[in-house]
Amino acid sequence: MCTLFGALSTTMNSADVDTVRELSYLACFRGIDSTGIAMISREKNKVSASINKSLYAPPHMFKTDLFKEEQAKHEKTLKAIS
């Protein structure tokens, strides 16, 4: 089974990401077959989104290079609008 969990924030910072990461460990009790996460950023009138999916258990997805790259893009966008 796969697991559903998430977070919503207008200013998702590294502490928020750490909280989501901790949720992912708890989510493993529900299932470890696959993981997905969507990150949506808005800068003025432009909205950008990225979706990461993997066949890894949730905690392992956060360690992938693809996730780290997308998280860095998301944080860069948030810094630009603050």
Please write the tens of the pLDDT for every residue from 17-32. Answer: 788 888 888 877 877 7
Q: Which of 72, 81, 71, 56 is nearest to 2 (CA)?
A: 56
Q: Under a CB-based contact definition with an 8 Å cutoff, are residues 78 and 12 in contact?
A: yes
Amino acid found at 70: E
More confident residue, 34 or 79: 34
Q: Under a CB-based contact definition with an 8 Å cutoff, are residues 5 and 19 in contact?
A: no
4 band by pLDDT with thresholds 50, 70 and 90: low
